[in-house]
Structure 1
Amino acid sequence: MRIPPLYRHPVWQRFFAGAAVGGCISWLIFLFIFGNIQQKNSTIIERQAIRIKELSGYIQIWEEEYQELNKKNEEMLTIQEIDVKIHNFERYEIRDRQSIFEAEESVKEDLRSLIAKDLTTVYKNKEIIKKTVENKTLNINGKQYRLIVKELYFYTTISLVLEMKLAD
């Protein structure tokens, strides 16, 4: 196999020389355009990085203020409602729902003085609340019953879950 003798024909020599010069010129144009695009992108990225730093600072300031406001609001929480539920009254064959409702309302009435009190002070006196409820005797259908506090939850609503027990 041998190389064709194209180097002797000036038409082919001009074609290959033109292709080589055109390739170099197009490469230089490509580098110029690519460089400009990269420079624009890098300035955009720098501006965005500066903006991100500014906004991160603002976010940190807002978070600190938000946490301070939350602390103040937690300190200002007050009791707004009392919820009482009596369970296991079926065990003593009390079918009268009205009696149970009246017993729940009686316990709510005893604890009514806690409404509009600060949550922390009410929580500190939870033992007194338990003793108040557990010392109460209820007269339902001619029988004496005592209440036992099974669950006690504090938030803006005090939730009491009570169980009934025959009084001795």
Structure 2
Amino acid sequence: MRVPQLYRKPGWQRFFAGMMCGAVISWVIFLFTYGTFQEEQVTLIAEQQEHVKDLNNQISIYQEDLHKLNEDNKKMLLIQSVDVKLLNSEKYKISQPDKTKFEEHIKDDISEVITKDIESVYKTKELLKRTIENKIYTINEKKYEAEVKELIIYTRLTVEIEISFAS
């Protein structure tokens, strides 16, 4: 048995030529569509990478802000300054420089509370009151006792004091 010679029949030649042309055309169409889809995928991936980079930058900024806020909150929970107010200095006719000197003297007595946390100062507020009240203060050769009328404990320790002559 013999294989028929197809090269002599033009019908078969057109069939194989059509198959070859179809294969080439389909290959070109495949390459075009595949290339188009791949180009879209590459641009999508590039956009997503840029978006991820932006989000990572935002995360780092938020983390820095959070760290900064935590540091600020730690500062806020410490006594940072002491403020003393003398309420009845007019009654005893104490001059402004003497009043300021008296307030500074009390500030010096309780200055160890600066940079301590608010909770520990609150726990020792009675000791702080006694420290101020159990001392005799001398202004213009007159002796005075101090009585704490109000003690406000926050980031600034505020002490309001009334004085009276020492007995």
Tell me the TM-score range normalised by the shorter chain: 0.5 to 0.7
TM-score (norm 1): 0.54
Percent of residue pairs bearing the same amino acid type = 44
Match in the other structure for 1:79:
79
- Measured in 2, the distance between the counterparts of 1:98 and 1:140 equals 11
- Measured in 2, the distance between the counterparts of 1:97 and 1:80 equals 25
Match in the other structure for 2:135:
136
Match in the other structure for 1:154:
153
TM-score (norm 2): 0.55
Letter in 2 for 1:158: L
Match in the other structure for 1:91:
91
Match in the other structure for 2:62:
none
Letter in 1 for 2:82: I
Task: Kindly indicate whether the alpha-carbon contact (under 8 Å) linking 1:76 and 1:118 is maintained by their aligned counterparts in 2.
Answer: no
- Measured in 1, the distance between the counterparts of 2:119 and 2:75 equals 8
Match in the other structure for 2:114:
115
Letter in 2 for 1:126: K
Letter in 2 for 1:127: E
Are residue 145 (structure 1) and residue 144 (structure 2) matched? yes
Q: By how many angstroms is 1:90 displaced?
A: 1.3
Which 4+ stretches in 1 moved above 4 angstroms?
Answer: none
Q: Residues 75, 92 of structure 1: CA spacing in aligned structure 2 closer, same or farther, 3 A cutoff? A: closer
Q: In terms of Rg, which structure is larger?
A: 2
Match in the other structure for 1:101:
100
Task: Kindly indicate whether the alpha-carbon contact (under 8 Å) linking 2:83 and 2:107 is maintained by their aligned counterparts in 1.
Answer: yes
Which 5+ residue runs of structure 2 have no aligned equivalent? 1-65
How many residue pairs are counted as aligned between the two chains? Answer: 99
Q: By how many angstroms is 1:89 displaced?
A: 1.4
CA RMSD, aligned part only? 2.2
SS in 2 for 1:92: coil
Match in the other structure for 1:11:
none
Which 5+ residue runs of structure 1 have no aligned equivalent? 1-65
SS in 2 for 1:151: strand
Task: Kindly indicate whether the alpha-carbon contact (under 8 Å) linking 2:76 and 2:155 is maintained by their aligned counterparts in 1.
Answer: no
- Measured in 1, the distance between the counterparts of 2:83 and 2:145 equals 18
- Give per-residue Cα distances to partners, 1:123-158, cap 9 Å, x unaligned: 000000000010121111211001000000010000
Match in the other structure for 1:124:
123
Q: Residues 140, 76 of structure 1: CA spacing in aligned structure 2 closer, same or farther, 3 A cutoff? A: closer
